[in-house]
C-alpha cells in the first residue's frame, strides 16, 4: 500500500531502476507501451490507480460519463490517487482529460492522470503543473461518443493490465505498474541497485576501465 513516505522514496528513484528491481526479484515486467508518454516532458508521477473503463457508445443519448466524473469524488482514503482510463482504440484521437478534469481531480486529491487515449488543454495542464501521461494529445471531443461503464475494475492501458489500487510510476522514460503487494520489495531492491550503479559510475568517471569498475563493485544486487 502506498504511503507519502514510500511515494517520496519512489520519486527519488526512476522507472528504469524499478524495472531492474522487478527483474532481479523475478516479478513480471509491467512496462506500458512506449506510446504512453508524459504530456509535459520530464514529468514524474507516482500514485495509486483509480481505474475507469470507457466503451464506444453510438447512441449519444446513452453516452454517459457519470461513472468517470464521479470517480474523482470516490477515491476515499487512497494515498495520492491517479485516474487511469482505458479508452476504446476508435476514440484515441478524442480527448477524455483536460483542464476541467485536472481541476476537479486536484480538488479531490488526485496527483496525476494516465490515459490510453488523448489529453487536451496541454498548455493549461503545464501551467497547472498537473502530471498527465497519455497515448497522444488532441483537441478532439469525446463527449457523446463513449460511455463510462465501470470504475474500480481491472483495465488495459498500454498493453498492461492495471488493477485498482496498483501503484503507477511514470517519468520521462515511460510508465510502469507495481502491484501494491510488491511495493516495499521493489523500493528496497531499486535503492540497492541505485547505490551499486552510483559506485560503478563514479569509478568510471574517475578513469577506471569499465570491467575493473564492475569487478570492484561486485555483482549487481
pLDDT value of residue 5: 98
Percent of the chain having pLDDT more than 90? Answer: 90
Instruction: Grade residue 74 by pLDDT with cuts at 50, 70 and 90.
Output: confident
Query: 74-79 — which CB contacts under 8 Å span 24+ positions?
Result: 74/50, 74/151, 75/50, 75/108, 75/109, 75/110, 78/2, 78/48, 78/50, 78/165, 79/1, 79/2, 79/3, 79/4, 79/7, 79/47, 79/48
Which runs of E-coded beta strand occur in 57-154? 81-86, 94-97, 112-119, 132-137, 140-141, 146-151
pLDDT given for residue 116 in this prediction: 98
pLDDT reading at 216 higher than 90: no
Alpha carbons 171 and 201: distance in angstroms, whole number = 22
State how far the alpha carbon of 220 is from the alpha carbons of 93, 115, 168, 199, in Å: 43, 35, 25, 11
For residue 73, the surrounding DSSP H or E stretch is none
Banded pLDDT at 212 (limits 50, 70, 90): confident
Query: Which domains are delineated in the chain?
Result: 1-27+180-221 (no CATH), 28-178 (3.50.30.40)
Q: Residue 73: which region, alpha, beta or left (left: phi > 0; alpha: psi -120 to 50)?
A: alpha
Residue 175: pLDDT band (50, 70, 90) is very high
What pLDDT score was predicted for residue 217?
Answer: 83
Pull the grid cell for residue 37: 508518454
pLDDT at 76 over 90: no
Read off the pLDDT of residues 120-173 as tens digits, 9 standing for 90 and up. 999 999 999 999 999 999 999 999 999 999 999 999 999 999 999 999 999 999
The confidence score (pLDDT) of residue 75 equals 81
Residues 163 and 98: their CA atoms lie apart, in Å, by 24
Q: Would you state the cell numbers that stand for residue 107, as one nine-digit string?
A: 480538488
pLDDT in tens, 178-211: 999 999 999 999 999 999 999 999 999 999 888 8
Amino acid at each position: 500500500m502506498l504511503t507519502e513516505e514510500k511515494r517520496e522514496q519512489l520519486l527519488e528513484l526512476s522507472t528504469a531502476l524499478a524495472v531492474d528491481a522487478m527483474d532481479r526479484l523475478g516479478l513480471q515486467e509491467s512496462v506500458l507501451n512506449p506510446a504512453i508518454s508524459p504530456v509535459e516532458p520530464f514529468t514524474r508521477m507516482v500514485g495509486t490507480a483509480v481505474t475507469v473503463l470507457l466503451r464506444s457508445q453510438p447512441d449519444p443519448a446513452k453516452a454517459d460519463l457519470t461513472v468517470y466524473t464521479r470517480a474523482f469524488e470516490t477515491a476515499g482514503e487512497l494515498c495520492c490517487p491517479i485516474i487511469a482510463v482505458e479508452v476504446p482504440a476508435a476514440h484515441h484521437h478524442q480527448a477524455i482529460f483536460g483542464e476541467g478534469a485536472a481541476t476537479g481531480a486536484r480538488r479531490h486529491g488526485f496527483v496525476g492522470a494516465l490515459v490510453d487515449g488523448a489529453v487536451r488543454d496541454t498548455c493549461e495542464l503545464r501551467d497547472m503543473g498537473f502530471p498527465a501521461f497519455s497515448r497522444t494529445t488532441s483537441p478532439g471531443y469525446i463527449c457523446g461518443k463513449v460511455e463510462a461503464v465501470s470504475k474500480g475494475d481491472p483495465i488495459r492501458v498500454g498493453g498492461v493490465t492495471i488493477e485498482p489500487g496498483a501503484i503507477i510510476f511514470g517519468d520521462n522514460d515511460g510508465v510502469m505498474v507495481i502491484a501494491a503487494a510488491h511495493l516495499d520489495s521493489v523500493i528496497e531492491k531499486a535503492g540497492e541497485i541505485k547505490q551499486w550503479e552510483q559506485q560503478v559510475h563514479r569509478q568510471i568517471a574517475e578513469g577506471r576501465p569499465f570491467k575493473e569498475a564492475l569487478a570492484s563493485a561486485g555483482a549487481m544486487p
